[in-house]
Amino acid sequence: DGGITQSPKYLFRKEGQNVTLSCEQNLNHDAMYWYRQDPGQGLRLIYYSQIVNDFQKGDIAEGYSVSREKKESFPLTVTSAQKNPTAFYLCASSIGVYNSPLHFGNGTRLTVT
């Protein structure tokens, strides 16, 4: 079955450490996205990538970095510069870049103490 796999489901880190969240898709989708969700708030776009080796900042890119070396993979690194990293992180993909719905992975809950 095609889908998006995020790992791990839960992640705990100490403040000051960088952490990388994995996202892999086998849907052959061109576009991939990272969103962050905080309680009571809508999803906010961190980064997105429309093609391999290209990515764009979203609304809240500060303190995050990404890479897109392969079509299937779009890892997100939460750096120590991110002031409030504790959140639910969602990776998504879409078949194209216009009028395409997003398909989400099952998310990673990151807790930084």
* Residues of the shown chain interacting with another protein in the complex, contacts defined by CB under 8 A: 31, 35, 40-45, 48, 50, 58, 88, 90, 94, 96-107
How do beta strands 44-51 and 108-112 pair? unpaired
Query: Which residues pair with residue 1 across a beta bridge?
Result: none
Burial string for 66-78 (b: 16+ CB within 10 Å, else e) reads bebeebbebbbeb
State the distance between the two ends of the chain, measured CA to CA, in whole angstroms.
36
Which C-beta is closer to another protein: that of 13 or that of 103?
103
CB of 57 to another protein, least distance (A): 11
The residue among 18 and 106 lying less far from another protein, judged by its C-beta, is 106
Report the nearest approach of another protein to the CB of residue 104 (Å): 4
Cα separation, 108 vs 49, whole angstroms: 19
User: Residue 16 or residue 40: which is nearer to another protein going by CB?
Assistant: 40
CB of 33 to another protein, least distance (A): 8
